[in-house]
Amino acid sequence: MTLRDRWSLYLDLIRWNRPQGWLLCLWPVLAALWLASGRLPAVDLLLIFTLGTFLMRSAGCAVNDIADREFDRHVKRTAQRPITSGRLSVQEAIAVGVVLALISFVLVLFTNPLTIGLSFGALGVAILYPFTKRFFAMPQAVLGIAFSFGIPMAYAAVQDQVPAQAWWLVLGNIAWVLAYDTEYAMVDRDDDLRIGMRTSAITLGRFDVIGIALFYALCLACWWWVGQQAGRGLFYQLGLVAAAAQAVWHVVLIRHRDREGCFRAFRANHWLGMSVWLGVVLDVALPG
């Protein structure tokens, strides 16, 4: 295998050609930076959290594929992942994950002790998540915690504290992850039932669509409350309105539970997150 072929496998391992995943992590972190700062965040923090989010999400993909390699071979959508197909060894994937996590940790060292301390929790939950699919009925909730750790870290980096509004933002983000990752789990529900994987789509059963609608509602309610606490105005509210419209569209897409509609809804969720972030940016830049 040539170096170019191996490099291509590494990029496939971290989902380089599927940016939706790290964008889903990035928008809430950027929104938290703007909300915590009340203005344009410092450039160094923007670079640290943008690059750190990408690196940790990429490392998480490596951990996920290592943990799920035996399950993935029985699912058509995942059977050709680099580790599962045997084109990349577990040892190589571990090395990739460790290097990415270490680079991310070096970036965090340029912040403050509270942010550094929170980073250990973020790493622990990221490692734990893939294994919860074996015993926990709603592993997507654990994924939500993993995807939300950047929010308190952003507040800690800006304010050297984690105020109540940050935790409301976290709760809303966990609900959002439950919504979009349940849509994702609906795509593989038949395969997951066959191999014994646990997911929120299986746990919710025939209440999956209404469950996702309620997760979206909780998410938007929490983010609305954050706006009230932070004194945000019209543009922030318009961002939430745009997000709500997209959430309704997603529920329409998944209502028949067909794979194409569920996968389409999942893939579109990063636009929902971007709408909220843009609302924050405009509200900070153009106060009413």
Considering only 34-43, 146-155, 216-225, 279-288, which range has the smallest mean pLDDT? 279-288
Q: How confident is the model at residue 17 (pLDDT cuts 50, 70, 90)?
A: confident
Higher pLDDT, 236 or 79: 236
Q: What is the DSSP letter of 255?
A: T
Token pair, residue 228, equals 């009230």
Whether 83 shows a pLDDT value over 70: the answer reads: yes
Q: What is the pLDDT of residue 80?
A: 82
CB 116 within 8 A of CB 53: no
Choice among 194-208, 216-230, 234-248 with the minimum mean pLDDT: 194-208
Res. 241: pLDDT tops 90? yes
Please report the pLDDT score of residue 81 as a whole number: 86
Spell out where the chain has E strands.
none
Single-letter amino acid, residue 89: S
Task: State mean pLDDT over 73-101.
Answer: 87
20: phi then psi, degrees, rounded to nearest 5:
-55, -35
- What was the pLDDT predicted at 288? 62
Q: Where are the domains of the chain?
A: 3-285
Q: Examine the pLDDT at 85 and tell me if it is beyond 70.
A: yes
Identify the band that residue 170 occupies on the pLDDT scale cut at 50, 70 and 90.
very high
pLDDT range class, residue 1, cuts 50, 70, 90: low
pLDDT of residue 18: 86
Q: What is the pLDDT of residues 261-272, one digit of tens each?
A: 999 999 999 999
Token readout for 121 is 């929790």
Q: How confident is the model at residue 44, as a pLDDT? A: 97
- Give the CATH H-level superfamily of domain 3-285: UbiA prenyltransferase (1.10.357.140)
CA–CA distances in Å: residue 80 to residues 71, 87, 248, 272: 12, 9, 33, 30
Residue 260 has what pLDDT?
95
